[in-house]
Amino acid sequence: MDTEKSESDSPDGISDSGSDYEVTLKSSKRRKHVREPSVKLPPKRPKRNPSLRVTSRPSNSPIPTHPDPSVQQQPPSHGTSRQVSPRPARSLNKGSQGISAKDIYDAVCSGKSAMVTVVDEWLDSYKQDREEGLLVLINFIVKSCGCGGVVSREMLDSMQNAEIISTLTKEFNEDSVRYPLCAPGPQLRHFRAGLCEFARVLVRSCQNNLIYDEFLFPSLLALLTGLSDSQVRAFRHTSTLLAMKLMTGLVEVAVVGSVRLQTTQRRYDVETRAHDRSSDRLAELQATINELRENSEELSSMMNATFRGVFVHRYRDRLPEIRAACIEELGLWLRKDPENFLNDGCLKYLGWTLHDKQSPVRLQCVRALQHLYQEKEFIGRLELFTSRFKERILSMVLDKDPDVAVEVVNLLLLIQQWTEEGLKEDECGHIYPLVYASHRGLSSAAGAFLYNKLKSVIPSENQENQKSKNAAFVQILIAFYIQSEFHDHGTYLVDSLWAVAGSELRDWETMTEMLLQDTGLMYEEEGALIELMMCAMRQAAHATPPVGRTQGKKTLSMKARKIQEQDKRRITTHFIPLLPQLLAKYSADAEKMTLLLKAPLYFQLEMYSSAKWLEKHLDLLLSQICRIIEKHTEVTVLEACAHLASTLCSDCYTFSSRVHLAFSQLLDHLTECFCTNLNDMLQGTADEGDTYCAAIALKRIAALSSAKDLTGWKLFHPCLKLLKSRIESREFNEELMVSALKCAAFHLMWAKVNVVNSKPPEEELRRLRKEVRSFCSVCQTCLALNLAEVRDQAFLQLCDLLLLYSVTSVRSEPALQALVHLPSDALRSELAAFLIDYVFTDADDAELNDEDEEEKKITNLQKKRNQLAGYCKLIVYGVLDLTAATDVFKHYSKYFKDFGDIIKETVSKTKLINPIQSAKTLCLSLQQMFSEMVIEERGKQDLSEIRDLAKRLAMSFGIDLHRVRKPLVALHMDGIRFGLRALEEGEEQHPNVAFFEILSEFSFKLLQQDRIELVAFLKSECPDAALSWPPVGLYHRSLLSRSTSRFREQEVEDDALSPPDTPVAKRKKTTAQGSVSSTTRGSWLENSSIPSSLYTPAITSTIQKQPAKQLASKKPRATESDVGSVLTELESEEEFSPGSQMRKVKPTKRLSLSSSKTVAGKEQQDLNSNLNLLSLIEDEDSEREEPEIEDYESEPDSESAYTLPSTRHTSASILDELFD
């Protein structure tokens, strides 16, 4: 479809041309004869280079004060403006009782309630004196912009719009950049809503007469067009919003007038064909038709002028709020008046804005498209738009703003439902993975899309009744879950579908029937169904989203709580009789058992004791659990059984005694099996079968020990003897030894719990302490074994027991002081060595290079994190000295990605324990690393790594420098002493002098008085010639002035704190002249970011490139009509044709440097003589580059002139892998 043709055929004649705007009014009074229904537009002028547009187009249009065309179309006057001092708005109405601009402003601020009365009162004054009424309205607009100036009658009569706006700009209050539309506070919170309501009421009140008086609205729109092109953001924002709202009102009036015209025309045609037609009646109808056509022409003229004069330039404004307002109103025009606006000439603006850099603008654009795709009759007109911009819309499902992504998914659902072609399967593949996203709103929107897609493929023969529909849906959902290959995330899939498919996912009868009866499910499908069923039970019983999707603490409403109770009751009633059958059927499958054993956790367990027939099902459940424990050896199954046993044994249930009895009998059997073979194993006469039986029995006992107190079975000493025997004989059985370690450790943990709850004699406390010492000694020996599982288990049990029997644990129980067990020096060394050898190492990961081993890498990392967390807890709770933390802090930078959060939390906790000692520990960590580097004679690369670590540790001191004064001074003094330690025999120079380079990284955190103190301390400690040594001189300069690191950090902070829409001139500028450069600056920032596994689609963007550098001196700019724009208007002939190619952003300089200097020299004196408006006017340097959209040849090797930001932010969540 040709764009030029589509625009010329539009009745409104709305054009997107970039030609200069001039307000055109009717040159004569209304004619009584019939006019042509369309308005012929002036020919388009050729597009000019933006750098040549010096004067503002709409600002040159005068505000008409008389309908005489000779007055209205006179050339603009550029005479000297009359300087008028600000005055109160009330002074304009001296001698009259009419409403003032301040009255209207107060009414707008107060709310919508008084708006109709205020508008009616203003209309009364306007009808008495229209020039005075217009003046009141103009001053109201000026006041709404936050300007203190006032437009007088003399200014209105003698000045052009550009001169009036220039005068108001000089009278603007420069003390604050705030204006009503952006000012915070309760008084002006609803100002925007009131302003919009005022515009709506004004148009509605004038729709029958004053709109067509050829004075009010043309004059008002001409002023708003001039203000919308101002450099002052307040003028531009407020006037654009008002102009867009007035335009929306005019569109509504035009639609009503069009309907009336069609109705009257039909009546005229009927009257013409009638036999008894009346000439008077025909003449009356013809006069009405003529009048309606004249009104339509006037509305078309005003709408066309507003569209071309305001919207076409401001939809690409620098300020995102202005762009968003334009796009929001455009969506209303397209929906309310599709005959005139719903064409490719207007739709292209929505397509371009999809690439906007700011998310609020993209959000308004997507919402506008949603309203269009909801209307069936609009789909045909949207075909070309859909084909042109579908690819961009699909890429926006990964938008960095989740709110935009949610609306995009909803838009794609509408496209899938209402368009003829819909979405192809590969296009739907962009949306399916989002059901596993961490953002709940986005996942729910993707779930609605998936639900609609799955329901559409259900065969018609399966839709006879609700049960068959649900069964068919469950089967299709199982197939999707298996094919999506995200089996570990069924909980997230169910949560995504819960809002739309809750009835299907709550159909427990259908699910259990499919499992218990022969319905043809494959083995893999049965496992997927059980997992989804368990996830649905969890969702119904807990009524909370899964981990990672919880958005703050949200209490359930009364209605949600009632639904939750009903669901739990239905689950319990249905599954109590069926669960034993399911456990019996799948008892041989460990994976299915692990899932099914979670079901009772979602029951209302009190129901087991509510009726006699239900107790029978409890006995069946207990017998099945005991059989499962005796049959399975997998850890996951045994842990699930132990967890369920712990829940059922709770004293809050009346049936708990029966559960205790059942598990006690099971434990008696297992203990007997273990003890029978124990003597043979201790004597070394047991065969492999006996050893295996004992190991399996002990493994099951260890699993139950985590949930049940087994101290009554007295298994500690047998397990300890077994461990000592195996260590002495060197006959290692890894499975047997791990189980023995677990049983012995759990025995000591339960013993501590029993001791705290009772008051045992002193002798028993000493005996328990002796057992703890013996077990720790055995574990210490196990740390040196070459058995990974035994070694890891011993380390974890040591960390737990040392913490449980520490001084801190008995601080509130003085009677239990005898239980305190402190680790020996040898044990401390063994723990630290384990950390260095098996946690801070990449040896294990280096062996796992295949993609199939990725899961093992994740498991291995989780194991290391648990071990490191256990060691750090010993430091934080005082079991180990703070100096032991050096083995952890040394690896903060190198292993930041894997353990950064744990180490950072440990650093912050140690600062709370002892701030000074913590700072000294940080310094000691750096000293140890430096000493290792010196001993091993490593080079500058290792020194830069130590400096990177110092930077990270320096940032841990925070921003409250007064609070960290003493710790920082202590750190620096320790560092100075270390760097200048006394020479030993054979040393010619100080070996630690280079440490001052590392110490200088902490200088920027010092206060001035501490700097002076440290300079004096440095001079007192170092030899006379030491200050000339480069490292010492570097450190000395860092104390005397701000270091490079401080400057660069401040620079980064300033850039980060500055809002994206803040003009460059307003941002704080910092220089670092004379500072010492750091070659490794910023490397740790790059290493700290978590790489994204998301696919980032290639997009075009309407961003404006920032200048590479800023000029040293401020240069005034020539006034430009499109100031602050982010886009450059596209050529209308090639904008939206089917053969048009994608566009790219190419920078073109507005003005050459020499010309800008010339302009600066001529206007500098005049500029300095006036008020400094830099706080109000968005300053753009003459060297600023503005993007110009040109034809984009989509070659694979073509590179954009801009580095586009990623459309998606990622987190460290494991869900990132879902989008790989």
- Is-contact 889 971, C-beta < 8 A? no
Rounded distance between C-alpha atoms, residue 123 and residue 120, angstroms:
5
Residue 534 has φ and ψ, to the nearest 5°, of: -65, -40
Rounded distance between C-alpha atoms, residue 477 and residue 499, angstroms:
15
What confidence score (pLDDT) does residue 316 get?
94
What confidence score (pLDDT) does residue 348 get?
94
Please tell me the number of Cα atoms within 13 Å of 1034 on its side-chain side.
17
Rounded distance between C-alpha atoms, residue 474 and residue 292, angstroms:
60
Nearest one of 1188, 1110, 1092, 1199 to 1148, comparing CA atoms:
1188
Torsion of CA 608, 613, 618, 623, to 10 degrees: 180
Helix (H) or strand (E) holding 1188: strand 1185-1191
Read off the pTM.
Answer: 0.73
What confidence score (pLDDT) does residue 500 get?
96
Residue 605 has φ and ψ, to the nearest 5°, of: -65, -20
Residue 951 has φ and ψ, to the nearest 5°, of: -60, -45
Beta bridge partners, 494, equal none
Classify 1144 as helix, strand or coil: strand
Q: What is the DSSP string of 72-94?
A: HTPPPP--PPPP-----GGGGGT
Q: What is the DSSP string of 600-656?
A: GGGS-GGGGGT-HHHHHHHHHHHHHHHHHHHH---HHHHHHHHHHHHHHT-TTSTTH
- Is-contact 1132 4, C-beta < 8 A? yes
Rounded distance between C-alpha atoms, residue 7 and residue 13, angstroms:
6
Rounded distance between C-alpha atoms, residue 342 and residue 301, angstroms:
18
Distances (CA, A) of 267 to 33, 261, 286, 297, 1110: 19, 10, 10, 21, 68
> What is the chain's alpha carbon radius of gyration, rounded to the nearest angstrom?
40
Beta bridge partners, 232, equal 1177
Rounded distance between C-alpha atoms, residue 911 and residue 920, angstroms:
11
pLDDT along the chain (1220 residues), means of 10: 36 36 35 34 35 33 34 34 35 54 88 81 91 93 90 90 90 73 73 91 92 92 94 93 96 94 91 79 91 93 95 95 96 95 94 95 97 94 94 96 96 93 91 94 96 89 80 94 81 95 95 90 94 96 89 80 94 95 95 95 92 89 95 94 94 92 95 92 88 94 93 94 92 93 96 90 91 96 94 96 92 86 95 95 66 80 95 96 95 94 95 95 95 80 89 92 94 93 70 91 92 92 82 91 46 40 37 35 32 33 36 36 37 37 35 37 40 36 34 32 32 34
Query: Which positions ≥6 away from 249 have C-beta within 8 Å?
Result: 199, 200, 202, 203, 204, 207
Nearest one of 90, 66, 91, 62 to 74, comparing CA atoms:
62
Distances (CA, A) of 245 to 238, 249, 349, 744, 923: 11, 6, 18, 77, 63
Rounded distance between C-alpha atoms, residue 565 and residue 606, angstroms:
13
Surface-to-core class of residue 341, CB atoms within 10 Å of its CB (0-12 exposed, 13-18 middle, 19+ buried): buried
Classify 216 as helix, strand or coil: helix
**Amino acid letter for position 182:** C
Degrees to nearest 5, angle at CA 623 with 620 and 629: 140
What confidence score (pLDDT) does residue 1042 get?
53
Distances (CA, A) of 427 to 150, 368, 411, 430, 1095: 57, 22, 14, 6, 14
Distances (CA, A) of 828 to 227, 808, 835, 1128: 75, 18, 11, 68
Angle between helices 734-757 and 788-804 (to 10 degrees): 10
Tokens for 743, please give them: 């049983």
Nearest one of 1020, 932, 917, 929 to 971, comparing CA atoms:
917
- Is-contact 636 594, C-beta < 8 A? yes
